[in-house]
Structure 1
Amino acid sequence: MKEEKAVVVFSGGQDSTTCLFWAIKNFKEVEAVTFDYNQRHQLEIKVAKSIADEVGVKHTVLDMSLLNQLAPSALTRTDIPIEQKEGELPSTFVEGRNLLFLSFAAILAKGTGARHLVTGVCETDFSGYPDCRDVFIKSMNVTLNLAMDSQFVIHTPLMWLDKGETWKLADELGVLEFVRDKTLTCYNGIIADGCGECPACILRKRGLDSYMRKKEERSEY
């Protein structure tokens, strides 16, 4: 039996779109929330809106432009190169992003009668972002419930999946081609397979190639 209502933190990328379809399968009612923090590619917001419209879920865009002012990164500034130096977080890390996103998603959820929050963070294939770790999510869940006297449950369907397994999940949900063709993961703002050169595109392609190779091997037996 499906659970009640969920709010999905939604960027229109591979991971959050897979999570959106996962939520649609597992909850009676689903909403999506996208955050506008003046990110490097405003196309991200258009893609998120287009996907939400196509699958028929209510979509809210919240203004988080203050985050851009407080936390400059390669995702918020075109003059900051996309890079990762040895022993440092990638230049794409936005300080406090998931902390704020989950806080505001919870406020939205409580106002709409939802207690389930879904986010696509992952600790298996990630760039060392501290706010993608399972320990942070568990801590945040406790904090939200204490702060708002509520019983939120944060779901992280991708937490222990690598990119190949994330593609496998999309395939099992019947949306692999949808995710491949209509999402925006690329740091250079190119929909679908992207530029093929930035870290996000390389990780995405490596995962897809790995999954498709295993799928073909299975079909031979």
Structure 2
Amino acid sequence: MTQKVVVIYSGGMDSFTVLHRAIKDGYQVFPLSFDYGQRHKKELDYAAGVCAELGVEHKVIDISAINQLIGGSSLTSDIEVPEGHYEEESMKQTVVPNRNMILLSMAVGYAVAIGANKVYYGAHSGDHAIYPDCRPEFVQKMNDVSAIANYEPVEIYSPYLTVSKIDILTDGLTMGLDYKQTWTCYNGREKACGKCGACQERLEAFAENGVPDPLEYES
């Protein structure tokens, strides 16, 4: 019997690659997306489309009420999205307090409930400078807790934890993935803005891989 894994799936290019990496690794995937009150739902729409095409069970969990507690980020509140690269100080405005600890905790609970022994999670090295809950020490400590929080230990697995978005894209292109099925931009307009940190890092990854980004951009 094929082993089950839960995949935290936002609909962005990193989690899209992680989802297909889990499939490539031979697992039965259970993608899990969250509506946590983010400023737009375009990523969730892209995630739903991919899961429908793959024919896999996809859960989208509405936890938007939590925004009453963890607001104050430009991703969840009426604060202008900063422009520039992820490593710039201004990008700290995009940090959502404790987000990944909350999402991983629920994903681990879901894994236990369906008999999965692993949660795939798309943290990578490009996030380390700005996002504390994407750093290796955070993932390790969450793994320590996950091993003892239930009768059934669940591993939190981050296949790209020590590599960059460039490398993630390289792996995805090797798998033949179509990144037109992903949305990365922090703004939810018709086209990607091309200026926010998420767009900048995505465009850099495509440039470094020598292939054009299939998404349309405003500029």
TM-score where L is the length of structure 2: 0.87
Give the conservation status (yes or no) of the 8 Å contact 1:121–1:156.
yes
- How far residue 57 of structure 1 moved from its aligned partner, in angstroms, is 1.5
Q: Deviations over 1:198-220 (max 9, x none)?
A: 1110110011101117xxxxxxx
Partner of 2:126: 124
Aligned letter for 1:210?
A: E
Aligned letter for 2:42?
A: L
State the Cα RMSD in Å. 2.1
Greater Cα offset, 198-207 or 116-125: 116-125
Partner of 1:8: 7
Q: Does 1:74 align with 2:74?
A: yes
Residues 87, 187 of structure 1: CA spacing in aligned structure 2 closer, same or farther, 3 A cutoff?
A: closer
Corresponding residue pairs, total: 207
Q: How far apart, CA to CA, are the structure 2 residues paired with 1:135 and 1:145?
A: 15
Give the conservation status (yes or no) of the 8 Å contact 1:83–1:90.
no
1:172 to 149, 153, 174: 174
- How far residue 28 of structure 1 moved from its aligned partner, in angstroms, is 3.0
- How far residue 151 of structure 1 moved from its aligned partner, in angstroms, is 1.9
Q: Deviations over 1:76-96 (max 9, x none)?
A: 12x201238975761111011
Partner of 2:199: 201
Partner of 1:218: none
Query: Which structure 1 residue ranges, 4+ long, deviate > 4 Å from structure 2?
Result: 84-89
Aligned letter for 1:26?
A: D
Q: Deviations over 1:103-128 (max 9, x none)?
A: 00011111111011001011235551
TM-score where L is the length of structure 1: 0.86
Q: Deviations over 1:4-62 (max 9, x none)?
A: 21100000000000000001111331110001112100222221111111122110111
Aligned pairs (5 A) from 1:114-193? 114-175=116-177, 178-179=178-179, 181-190=180-189
Partner of 2:56: 57
- How far residue 139 of structure 1 moved from its aligned partner, in angstroms, is 0.5
- How far residue 132 of structure 1 moved from its aligned partner, in angstroms, is 0.3
- How far residue 150 of structure 1 moved from its aligned partner, in angstroms, is 2.1
Give the conservation status (yes or no) of the 8 Å contact 1:11–1:34.
yes
Residues 80, 127 of structure 1: CA spacing in aligned structure 2 closer, same or farther, 3 A cutoff?
A: farther
Partner of 1:83: 82
Residues 54, 132 of structure 1: CA spacing in aligned structure 2 closer, same or farther, 3 A cutoff?
A: same
The SS at the match of 2:58 is strand
Aligned letter for 2:166?
A: G
Q: Deviations over 1:136-177 (max 9, x none)?
A: 1111011122111322111111211212111101011111xx
Aligned letter for 1:80?
A: I
Structure 1 residue runs of 5 or longer lacking an equivalent are: 214-221
Aligned letter for 2:198?
A: A
Residues 112, 134 of structure 1: CA spacing in aligned structure 2 closer, same or farther, 3 A cutoff?
A: same
Share of identical aligned residues, percent?
36
Q: How far apart, CA to CA, are the structure 2 residues paired with 1:89 and 1:118?
A: 25
